[in-house]
Structure 1
Amino acid sequence: MNVELELGLERRIGKRSAAVIEKHLGITTVGGLLNYYPRRYLNRGELTPISELPFDEDVTLIARVVSNSKRQMRARKGFIIDVVITDDAGTGTLKISFFNGHRAKNELQPGRRAMFSGKVTRYAGSLGLTNPDYQLLDEDPDVPGMDPEKLAAMPIPIYPATAHLTSWSIQKVMTALLETADLDALRDPLPAAIAAREKFLPLPKAYRLIHAPETAADWRKARDRFRYQEALVLQSALARRRAQLASEEATARRPVPEGLLAAFDRQLPFTLTAGQSAVGKTLAAELSQDGPMNRLLQGEVGSGKTIVALRAMLQVVDAGGQAALLAPTEVLAAQHFDSIRRTLGPLARDGLLGGLGEHSVQVSLLTGSMPTAARKQSLLDAASGAAGIVIGTHALLSDNVTFFDLGLIVVDEQHRFGVEQRDALRAKASKPPHLLVMTATPIPRTVAMTVFGDLETSVLDELPAGRAPITTHVVGLAENPAWAARIWSRSREEIEAGHQVYVVCPKIGADDDGDFTPGEAEPEPGELEGDGAARELASVTAVVEHLKEEPALAGVALAPLHGRQDPVLKSETMASFTANETKLLVSTTVIEVGVDVHNATLMVILDADRFGISQLHQLRGRVGRGGLPGTCLLVTTLEPGHPSRRRLDAVAATTDGFELSQEDLKLRREGDILGASQSGGRSTLKLLRVLEHEDIIARARLDAQKIVAADPALTGYAALAEAIDEYLNPEKEAFLERG
Structure 2
Amino acid sequence: MPQINLKSPITYLKGVGPIKAEVLQKELGLFTIEDLMGHYPFRYIDRTKFHKINQLNPNDLAFSQVLGRLISLQEVGEKKAKRLVAEFRDDTGSIELVWFQSLAWIKKSLQIGSAYIIFGKVSEFNGKLSITHPEMELFQKNSKTTGNLSMQPVYSSTEKLKKFNLDSKGIMQLQLNALELFGKNLQETLPKYIVQEHKLISYADALLSIHFPENQLDLNQAIKRLKFEELFWIQLRILNNKQLNTQKYKGHLFTQVGEKFNHFYSNLLPFPLTNAQKRVVKEVRMDTNTGAQMNRLIQGDVGSGKTVVALMSMLLAVDNGFQACMMAPTEILAQQHYASIQHLIPEDFCTVKLLTGSSTTKQRRVIHEELENGKLSILIGTHALIEDKVKFKNIGLVVIDEQHRFGVEQRSKLWRKNVIPPHMLVMTATPIPRTLAMTLYGDLDISIIDEMPAGRKPIKTVHFFESSRLRMFGFMREEIAKGRQVYVVYPLIKESEKLDLLYLEAGLEFLQREFPLPDYFISIVHGKMPAKDKDFEMQRFIKGQTQIMVATTVIEVGVNVPNASVMIIENAERFGLSQLHQLRGRVGRGAEQSYCILMSGNKLSKEGKKRLKTMVDTNDGFEIAEVDLQLRGPGDLSGTQQSGVLEMKIANLASDQALLSEARQAVIHLFEVDPNLLATKNVLLKEFLSQRSAISWDKIS
TM range (shorter): 0.7 to 0.9
Residue equivalent to 1:363: 353
The partner residue of 1:560 within 485, 501, 524 is 524
**Helix, strand or coil at the partner of 2:213:** coil
The partner residue of 2:552 within 585, 588, 605 is 588
Residue equivalent to 1:84: none
Checking the alignment, whether the CA contact within 8 Å between 1:474 and 1:633 is kept in structure 2 is yes
Q: 2: CA distance between counterparts of 1:615 and 1:259?
A: 37
The partner residue of 1:454 within 443, 464, 469 is 443
1:308: how far off? 1.0
1:572-608 C-alpha deviation (Å, 9 max, x unpaired): 3322221122332222322223421111111111121
Q: 1: CA distance between counterparts of 2:373 and 2:186?
A: 54
Checking the alignment, whether the CA contact within 8 Å between 1:442 and 1:658 is kept in structure 2 is yes
Checking the alignment, whether the CA contact within 8 Å between 2:386 and 2:413 is kept in structure 1 is yes
Residue equivalent to 2:206: 206
The partner residue of 1:491 within 476, 497, 504 is 476
1:246: how far off? 1.1
The residue identity in structure 1 corresponding to 2:355 is L
Residue equivalent to 1:659: 623
Matched, 1:284 2:285: yes
Residue equivalent to 1:468: 457
Stretches of structure 2 that go unaligned for 5 or more consecutive residues are 67-80, 82-89, 93-99, 105-116, 124-130
Matched, 1:175 2:139: no
Checking the alignment, whether the CA contact within 8 Å between 2:325 and 2:380 is kept in structure 1 is yes
Distance 1:655 1:430, change over 3 A: same
Residue equivalent to 1:689: 652
The residue identity in structure 2 corresponding to 1:288 is N
Q: 2: CA distance between counterparts of 1:116 and 1:385?
A: 78
Checking the alignment, whether the CA contact within 8 Å between 1:366 and 1:375 is kept in structure 2 is no
1:8: how far off? 4.0
Checking the alignment, whether the CA contact within 8 Å between 1:255 and 1:284 is kept in structure 2 is no
Q: 1: CA distance between counterparts of 2:595 and 2:558?
A: 18
Matched, 1:224 2:228: no
Distance 1:224 1:149, change over 3 A: farther
1:43-91 C-alpha deviation (Å, 9 max, x unpaired): 13468997998xxxxxx742699xxxxxxxxxxxxx9xxxxxxxx9x9x
Matched, 1:37 2:44: no
Matched, 1:389 2:378: yes
Q: 2: CA distance between counterparts of 1:135 and 1:289?
A: 72
Q: Which moved more, 1:566-575 or 1:233-242?
A: 566-575
1:250: how far off? 0.8
Residue equivalent to 2:97: none
Checking the alignment, whether the CA contact within 8 Å between 1:159 and 1:170 is kept in structure 2 is yes
1:652: how far off? 0.6
Describe how 1:627-642 pairs up with structure 2 within 5 A.
627-639=591-603, 642=606
Distance 1:21 1:320, change over 3 A: same
Stretches of structure 1 that go unaligned for 5 or more consecutive residues are 54-59, 66-78, 80-87, 91-101, 118-133, 348-355, 516-536
The partner residue of 1:543 within 504, 509, 525 is 504
Q: 2: CA distance between counterparts of 1:191 and 1:24?
A: 34
Rg larger for: 2
The residue identity in structure 1 corresponding to 2:135 is D
The residue identity in structure 1 corresponding to 2:294 is M
Name the % identity.
34
Distance 1:173 1:691, change over 3 A: closer
Q: 2: CA distance between counterparts of 1:681 and 1:404?
A: 34
Distance 1:187 1:719, change over 3 A: farther
**Helix, strand or coil at the partner of 1:604:** strand
Q: 1: CA distance between counterparts of 2:283 and 2:394?
A: 23
Describe how 1:142-161 pairs up with structure 2 within 5 A.
149-151=146-148, 153-159=149-155
Q: 1: CA distance between counterparts of 2:30 and 2:695?
A: 14
The residue identity in structure 1 corresponding to 2:668 is Q
Distance 1:372 1:560, change over 3 A: farther
The residue identity in structure 2 corresponding to 1:513 is E
- Paired residues, what number? 635
1:33: how far off? 3.5
The residue identity in structure 2 corresponding to 1:333 is A
**Helix, strand or coil at the partner of 1:459:** strand
1:473: how far off? 0.9
The residue identity in structure 2 corresponding to 1:43 is D
**Helix, strand or coil at the partner of 1:297:** strand
Q: 2: CA distance between counterparts of 1:629 and 1:728?
A: 53
Checking the alignment, whether the CA contact within 8 Å between 1:559 and 1:582 is kept in structure 2 is yes
Checking the alignment, whether the CA contact within 8 Å between 2:241 and 2:698 is kept in structure 1 is no
Residue equivalent to 1:97: none
Residue equivalent to 1:245: 245
Q: 2: CA distance between counterparts of 1:373 and 1:6?
A: 59
TM-score, reference length from structure 1: 0.75
1:157: how far off? 2.5
1:167-191 C-alpha deviation (Å, 9 max, x unpaired): 9824522531451476467654412
The residue identity in structure 2 corresponding to 1:39 is F
Distance 1:281 1:195, change over 3 A: closer
Distance 1:170 1:449, change over 3 A: same
Checking the alignment, whether the CA contact within 8 Å between 1:538 and 1:607 is kept in structure 2 is no
Distance 1:52 1:328, change over 3 A: farther
1:321: how far off? 1.1
**Helix, strand or coil at the partner of 1:324:** strand
Distance 1:17 1:506, change over 3 A: farther
The residue identity in structure 2 corresponding to 1:219 is L
1:307: how far off? 0.6
The residue identity in structure 2 corresponding to 1:41 is Y
Distance 1:713 1:233, change over 3 A: same
Checking the alignment, whether the CA contact within 8 Å between 1:451 and 1:736 is kept in structure 2 is no
Checking the alignment, whether the CA contact within 8 Å between 2:488 and 2:567 is kept in structure 1 is yes
Q: 1: CA distance between counterparts of 2:555 and 2:590?
A: 17
Checking the alignment, whether the CA contact within 8 Å between 1:299 and 1:439 is kept in structure 2 is yes
Checking the alignment, whether the CA contact within 8 Å between 2:504 and 2:551 is kept in structure 1 is no
1:238: how far off? 1.4
Q: 1: CA distance between counterparts of 2:204 and 2:122?
A: 31
More helix by share: 2
Residue equivalent to 2:335: 334
**Helix, strand or coil at the partner of 1:643:** helix
Describe how 1:238-637 pairs up with structure 2 within 5 A.
238-247=238-247, 248-259=249-260, 261-263=262-264, 265-344=266-345, 346-347=346-347, 356=348, 359-367=349-357, 370-371=359-360, 373-375=362-364, 377-417=366-406, 421-477=410-466, 482-507=467-492, 512-513=494-495, 539-550=500-511, 551-555=513-517, 556-637=520-601
1:643-665 C-alpha deviation (Å, 9 max, x unpaired): 32111111111112222222222
Checking the alignment, whether the CA contact within 8 Å between 1:113 and 1:137 is kept in structure 2 is yes
Residue equivalent to 2:85: none
Checking the alignment, whether the CA contact within 8 Å between 1:544 and 1:559 is kept in structure 2 is no
The residue identity in structure 1 corresponding to 2:151 is P
1:460: how far off? 1.8
Checking the alignment, whether the CA contact within 8 Å between 2:556 and 2:583 is kept in structure 1 is yes
Whose RCO is larger (CA < 8 A, sep 6+)? 1
Distance 1:157 1:115, change over 3 A: farther
The residue identity in structure 2 corresponding to 1:287 is T
Distance 1:22 1:46, change over 3 A: farther
**Helix, strand or coil at the partner of 1:325:** strand
Distance 1:23 1:563, change over 3 A: farther
Checking the alignment, whether the CA contact within 8 Å between 2:293 and 2:423 is kept in structure 1 is yes
Distance 1:186 1:316, change over 3 A: farther
Checking the alignment, whether the CA contact within 8 Å between 2:374 and 2:394 is kept in structure 1 is yes
Q: 1: CA distance between counterparts of 2:317 and 2:26?
A: 51
The residue identity in structure 1 corresponding to 2:486 is V
Q: 1: CA distance between counterparts of 2:367 and 2:239?
A: 37
1:237: how far off? 0.9
1:472: how far off? 0.7
Q: 1: CA distance between counterparts of 2:30 and 2:624?
A: 35
1:217: how far off? 2.9
**Helix, strand or coil at the partner of 1:629:** coil
